[in-house]
Amino acid sequence: MNRCWLMCLDRLGLAPSLRLVATACLMALAVMPAAADVDAEKFMAAMDKLGAEQAARTPGAQLYQNCVYCHGEQGRAESSFYPRLAGQPADYLRQQLQAYRQGQRQNAIMSSMALALSGKEIDVLATYLAAQSPRPGDAPADHGAQVTAGQARAVALGCGACHGNEYQGQGSYARLAGQGYDYLVNQLTDFRDGQRSDPAAVMPGLAAALSDQDIENLSSYFSAL
């Protein structure tokens, strides 16, 4: 591959994930016939545009570009299997990223991503995501009965004492309102089954008494908010 092209990519200051895509495209162009030179010029123009867009982003938004593919634009994941990060308390986000770095919370992708961040970058990223507007709730359409039952169960468990009266999250406690249904089911199940810990040792104790139906009801309610 033309070495000067790689130098151009270095000057663009792309996020690592974008640079990887750009490099792969350049490698493909490198084996094309000379007639593809015009396309290569268009490609470099597109890379210039990407670089300018990246430079125009705030530091937090620049860091977040490596997270978009799973967590969605500005932390508002469309898939209910990935956690929605927009509007999460900054302290909670810091705590979770540090837990991934230190092996207290396990996930192959997240652990490697967190290890690549400095303490300063974690602060910048957490502050950026906390300032984003949360995605509106979208519980499964046919879960009306579960939503009602989940609301009553949440009140009985006193979830609002830690997570806020509107389950908006506060301090080091997560925002539950509008979180993805499937993600909530998976996390509550992990707490119950001992697959996820809690620094305050609250969640495993509360979740231990939850049935599968309780977990589905609670997840339906929170995801509908």
Note whether residue 48 is domain-resident.
Answer: yes
Which pLDDT score, from 0 to 100, does residue 128 have? 98
Which pLDDT score, from 0 to 100, does residue 199 have? 85
Q: Look at the chain and count its residues.
A: 225
- Count of domains forming the chain: 3
Ranges of H-type helices in the chain: 3-12, 16-30, 37-56, 59-64, 68-71, 90-101, 108-115, 119-130, 144-157, 160-163, 181-192, 203-207, 212-224
Note whether residue 64 is domain-resident.
Answer: no
Q: How does pLDDT run across 89-115, given as a tens digit for each residue?
A: 999 999 999 999 999 999 999 999 999
Alpha-carbon span 44 to 137, nearest angstrom? 40
Q: Are residues 52 and 100 in the same domain?
A: no
What count of other Cβ atoms lies within 10 Å of the Cβ of residue 93? 24
Q: How does pLDDT run across 156-203, given as a tens digit for each residue?
A: 999 999 999 999 999 999 999 999 999 999 999 999 999 999 888 899
The residue type found at 157 is: L
Alpha-carbon span 33 to 116, nearest angstrom? 38
**Residue-range definition of the domain harbouring residue 113:** 72-135
Please count the CA atoms within 13 angstroms of the CA of 223 that sit on its side-chain side.
29
Q: Does 17 have pLDDT greater than 90?
A: no
Note whether residue 23 is domain-resident.
Answer: yes
Note whether residue 189 is domain-resident.
Answer: yes
* Percentage of residues in the chain having pLDDT higher than 70: 75
CATH, residue 195: 1.10.760.10
Q: Which of 102, 135, 168 is the last residue of a domain?
A: 135
Q: Are residues 140 and 219 in the same domain?
A: yes
Alpha-carbon span 53 to 8, nearest angstrom? 16
Residues 6 or more apart whose Cβ sits within 8 Å of residue 112: none
Tokens 């389950």 belong to which residue?
167
Residues 6 or more apart whose Cβ sits within 8 Å of residue 86: 74, 75, 76, 129, 132, 133, 134, 135
Q: Are residues 50 and 12 in the same domain?
A: yes
